Amino acid sequence: MNDTPTRAPVAAVIVLAAGGGTRMKSRLSKLLHTIAGRPMLSYALDAARALQPERLVVVVGHLREQVEAHLAESAPQAIIAEQPVRNGTGGAVACGLAALGDLDGVVAVTYGDVPLLSGETLSLLVDQHVADGNACTVLTAVVPDPTGYGRIVREGGEVARIVEHRDATEAERAIAEINSGIYVFDARVLREGLSSLQPDNAQSELYLTDVLGYARAHGGRVGAVRTDDAWQTEGVNDRVQLAAVSAEVNRRLLEHWMREGVTIADPSTTWIEAEADLSADVTILPNTQLLGATSVATGAVIGPDTTLRDCEVGENAHVIRTHGELSIIGEDAEVGPFARLRPGTVLGARGKIGTFVEAKNAHIGDGSKVPHLTYCGDAWIGEGVNVGAGTIFANYDGKHKSPTHLGDNVFIGSNSVLVAPVDVADGAFVAAGSAVVDDVPPGALAVARGRQHISDGWVAKRRPGSKAAQSAAESSGQVHQAVEQAREKLAREQEDHQ
């Protein structure tokens, strides 16, 4: 979301992404699990690119084929460095540095699994680093529970070193200021510091954090930038953290859209993914998910209980209790409640897809209505058409899918079956209950059903003594009586006239 470029030139950003991710218990690389519809790694890449570095390196290891395939698509300019053995963060950065060859100037190190770090914060870190002439600058945060993190040990206010939780004394564990793992280094100090690392610690790993002690010992300045937004340092190691970070990303996206003029009736049940695009004066009702590249134009009302993925909703449209995918809804159109829009549904302006209607690859013209209980697949429908309740577009003969064409101002009577391929031309009518298998010419009426036949007195003959027979007898008795009364009245009147 933030792409403020820093003024200081950045020679390289090294993104660490080789870790095992074992706590995810997943066949999918942790870095490809999505947050607000985007792979976790893409957040780190965005933040890195905000620095406009000369070079961007991603250090891969665990499930590297998956990560590399993603990078080939999303960041083809990135240099991929393999860390063959997971020997710690120091080892990982050394691999990244080796892939860069000769290097001078500012190098930033970030993690692929810290999605909320913003480009803005990284830029601040670089600016501070350059302004203070530091050898190393680390991003820190004060957190309520620092368990597991490296602690920032300060002496006289200055950062002296970082001690890992497992190597820390009781007194050091009481420190609430943690190492985010995000740093800016002077390339020369980093290279020298890395080559001095020894795995003499609780985890027998090469700790990148020991480079800070090295820098100090060799006369370099070590600075720190403390962020007030601890979410920016929050890593994702398991699915509990994935859910927590996802909820926070969603909360921030909702806040962004509300500030842009979108009404969100119930933020606690609304999910809007990162790629969605909303206009001012859109209203989102409870239990709504706007996923993928969904866009919603001004005045539209979405929800309640609606999921749209990769849909385009026009101005002032209403979409209620609907599940939609890869569909376009025109301006002033109405959809739902209880509608399913499958890929390729295009509803024109002022059109309607109503209750219990499923549409797929259906082009429904301006002002045309499919209001109730219909399957509408592979359909090309003109303007001003009315499709009666219960109509089925029978597009599949068991082997092939075929299209149905309805011209402008066509009227389809209720409970009809349109057996594709079939054309109903402009202005034609289809009688209710028809099974239409032949094309209907313009302006014609097609009646494709059995004619109604009446067998008088059938119930009295075939169901004698039944309730139906009794009702029928009473009914005809009443009619008989009424006719008699009318006759008598007429006779009296005629007598009076004589």
Give me the least distance between CB of 237 and Ca ion, in Å please: 5
Q: What are phi and psi of 423, to 5 degrees?
A: -120, 130
Q: Does 235 bind Ca ion (CB under 5 A)?
A: yes
389 is in an annotated binding site: yes
**Residues 436 to 455 in contact with ligand UD1, rule: CB under 6 A:** none
Rounded least distance, CB 158 to ligand UD1, Å: 18
What phi and psi values does residue 52 have, to the nearest 5 degrees? 45, 55
Interaction with ligand UD1 in 43-72: which residues (CB under 6 A)? 59
Which of 317, 381, 115 is closest to 236 using CA atoms? 115
Torsion of CA 140, 145, 147, 149, to 10 degrees: -10
- The verdict on whether omega for the bond into residue 304 sits within 30 degrees of 0, i.e. cis, is yes
Q: Which two tokens stand for residue 5?
A: 């470029």
**Annotated binding-site residue? 116:** no
Residue 223 β-bridge partners: 137
Residue nearest to ligand UD1 (CB): 150
The nearest distance, CB 219 to ligand UD1, in angstroms, is 23
Which of the listed partners (Ca ion, ligand UD1, none) does 88 bind, with a CB threshold of 5 to 8 Å by partner kind?
ligand UD1
Q: How far apart are CA 466 and CA 144, in angstroms?
A: 80
Catalytic residue among 372, 405, 480, 497: 372
Say which residues have a Cβ less than 8 Å from residue 204's Cβ, sequence separation at least 6.
none
Residue 83 sits in the site that holds ligand UD1 (CB under 6 A): yes
Which residue is listed with tokens 């602690």?
Answer: 151
* Residue with nearest beta carbon to Ca ion: 235
Closest CA to 341 of 376, 373, 298: 376
Beta-bridge partners for 109 = 14, 183
Report the residue number, 30 or 363, with the smaller CB distance to Ca ion.
30
Judged by beta carbon distances under 5 to 8 A according to partner kind, the member of ligand UD1, Ca ion, none in contact with residue 358 is none
Kindly give the interhelix angle for 187-195 and 89-100, rounded to the nearest 10 degrees. 130
164 binds, among ligand UD1, Ca ion, none (CB under 5 to 8 A by kind): ligand UD1
Distance, CA of 1 to CA of 17 (rounded, Å): 21
**Is 372 among the residues known to form the active site?**
yes
Name which of ligand UD1, Ca ion, none residue 414 binds, using a CB cut-off of 5 to 8 Å depending on partner kind.
none
- Give the span between the Cα atoms of 244 and 277, in whole angstroms: 23
Q: Please tell me the distance from the alpha carbon of residue 379 to that of residue 355, in angstroms, as a whole number.
A: 18
To the question of whether residue 83 is assigned a binding role by annotation, the answer is yes
Q: Which of the residues 236 through 295 are near Ca ion (CB under 5 A)?
A: 237
Q: Any known ligand binding at 355?
A: no
- Considering only 188-196, 232-240, 272-280, 459-467, which stretch makes contact with Ca ion by CB under 5 A? 232-240
Q: Is the peptide bond before 421 cis (omega within 30 degrees of 0)?
A: yes
Segment interacting with ligand UD1 (CB under 6 A) among 88-96, 124-132, 184-192, 449-457: 88-96
Distance from C-alpha of 57 to C-alpha of 209, rounded to nearest angstrom: 19
Backbone CA torsion sign across 455, 460, 461, 462: positive
**Least distance (Å) from ligand UD1 to the CB of residue 61?**
6
Residues 104-133, mask of contacts with ligand UD1 (x by CB under 6 A): -------xxx--------------------
Cβ at position 193, least distance to ligand UD1 in Å: 13
Size of the site for Ca ion (CB under 5 A): 2
Is 234 exposed, middle or buried (CB count within 10 Å of its CB: 0-12, 13-18, 19+)?
buried
150 interface partner picked from ligand UD1, Ca ion, none, CB below 5 to 8 A per type? ligand UD1
> Residue 92 touches which of ligand UD1, Ca ion, none (CB < 5 to 8 A by kind)?
ligand UD1
Q: For residue 89, state whether it binds ligand UD1 (rule: CB under 6 A).
A: yes
Distances (CA, A) of 422 to 348, 381, 418, 425, 460: 22, 12, 7, 10, 44
168 binds ligand UD1 (CB under 6 A): no
Region near ligand UD1 per CB under 6 A, out of 82-90, 97-105, 115-123, 412-420: 82-90
Residue list, annotated binding site for UDP-N-acetyl-alpha-D-glucosamine: 16-19, 30, 83, 88-89, 111-113, 150, 164, 179, 237, 342, 360, 375, 386
Interface residues with ligand UD1 (CB under 6 A) are 16-19, 59, 83, 86-89, 91-92, 111-113, 149-150, 162, 164, 178-181, 207-209, 235
Residue list, annotated binding site for acetyl-CoA: 389, 395-396, 414, 432, 449
